[in-house]
Amino acid sequence: MTELAATTKVEECLLSAPSENPSARVSEYAEGSLLSMEQLSVADVAGILANTSHLERMTAAERARVLAGRTIALLFYESSTRTRTSFELAAKSLGATTTLVSDKSSSIEKGESLKDTGLTLRALGAEAIILRHPASGAPSLLARATGLPVLNAGDGMHQHPSQALLDLRTILLRLGKDASTVHAKTLDGVTVSIVGDILHSRVARSDAMLLPRLGARVLLCGPVELLPEDALGLGAGIEGSGSLEIERDFDRALRQSDVVMMLRIQKERLAGFDLDLGEFVARYQLSMERLAACAPKAVVMHPGPIIRGLEIAGEVADGQQSAIEEQVAQGLVVRRALLVRALGVTV
Ligand code: NCD
């Protein structure tokens, strides 16, 4: 583990350096890489959505020809159900061959570095790598080391761009909007609350970088331990980044929300933290009573995994307003478009 640990430390240092122009940075990586939400312009997002719809309209047989003969590796250093399975099924539905390497059953356990693991996958014919890693910045490191397109499937507390895109498509569909394109005003008049453990959430970071650029008003809601004031800086400096606010009172946030996105408390990243769960539940759990009283029409979302009875009541997750399963299904279709983009295939 020492070499890996050293690698990730180096990357953390790189990340904490003052950031330069993101587009300049991205050009160092193979085209088709998706490392962070900030690298995508609104036009890029519109293109991904258009391809998602196009691929969805194809027959299964047509789709299976799109990436036939291509090889995609999934490299997972953290557990995952939805993201891993949907990337894998998306690749297979396009006819690609996939291979899964996880830190639990590979030479990573013997101490092989991220770079060497990536080079090994490349030598075996991988043409793109989907990476989930506990260290922020690991996907950039891998993209630089291998020269391959890398899709960030979640890196530490940093980014989860494919999740933001599937969240966007779910929102567009649930609000009855055209899901095959977006522009800077598509979500004008729409208020989205993101609630709970924002501090540790790469999903919140990616969503907060995307939705305001499409016109949405985003309210961040949670206790100060899980939502520091500097969260307002998310998205700062990105062209067209719009309105981001903090509203600590959940009921007040809910009353204004068209969409409410609940987040799991990331216990695995809470080291040294002392959170009063009873108080959290009282103030921030999305219960049926709260939802009925404050937002009887809002779309309820959650990236999963949900912890029933903690941030969300089971009956809300299973209820009419919940789009949680739809988000999972959108993960499959949106990730197809990301794989096609990664491999530079025109559809
Ligand atoms: C999230 C993740 O791993 O970042 N889940 C996901 O990918 N759908 C959120 C979480 O772990 O709570």
Domain borders along the chain are 8-159+329-342, 161-323
Does 154 sit in the ligand 1 pocket, CB within 6 Å?
yes
For domain 161-323, the question of CATH label 3.40.50.300 is answered with no
Cα 154 to ligand 1 centre (Å): 8
Q: Is 309 left (phi over 0), alpha (psi -120 to 50) or beta?
A: left
Q: What is the pLDDT of residue 237?
A: 61
Beta-carbon contacts of 106 under 8 Å, excluding residues fewer than 6 positions away, are: 112, 117
Q: What is the pLDDT of residue 240?
A: 63
- Nearest C-alpha neighbor of 87 from the set 73, 101, 106: 73
Q: What is the number of the ligand 1 atom nearest to the C-alpha of 263? A: 12
Domain 8-159+329-342 and domain 161-323, same fold? Reply is: yes
Cα 131 to ligand 1 centre (Å): 14
Alpha-carbon distance of 241 to 309, in angstroms, equals 34
Cα 244 to ligand 1 centre (Å): 22
256 SS3 class: coil
Does 156 sit in the ligand 1 pocket, CB within 6 Å?
no
DSSP 303-343: -S---BTTTB-HHHHTSTTB-HHHHHHHHHHHHHHHHHHHT
Cross-strand partners of 195: 221, 262
Cα 261 to ligand 1 centre (Å): 13
What is the residue with the minimal CA distance to atom 8 of ligand 1? 303
CATH class of 8-159+329-342: alpha beta
Q: What is the pLDDT of residue 247?
A: 97
What is the residue with the minimal CA distance to atom 7 of ligand 1? 83
- One digit per residue, the tens of pLDDT, for the chain of length 347 reads 333 333 444 344 333 333 444 444 556 899 999 999 999 999 999 999 999 999 999 999 999 999 999 999 999 999 999 999 999 999 999 999 999 999 887 888 888 999 999 999 999 999 999 999 999 999 999 999 999 999 999 999 999 999 999 999 999 999 999 999 999 999 999 999 999 999 999 999 999 999 999 999 999 999 999 999 988 887 666 666 668 999 999 999 999 999 999 999 998 877 767 789 999 999 999 999 999 999 999 999 999 999 999 999 999 999 999 999 999 999 999 999 999 999 999 99
- Nearest C-alpha neighbor of 36 from the set 113, 116, 138, 115: 138
Cα 241 to ligand 1 centre (Å): 24
Does 303 sit in the ligand 1 pocket, CB within 6 Å?
yes
CA distances (Å), origin 220, targets 94, 203, 235: 37, 12, 13
Q: What is the pLDDT of residue 231?
A: 87
Q: What is the pLDDT of residue 25?
A: 52
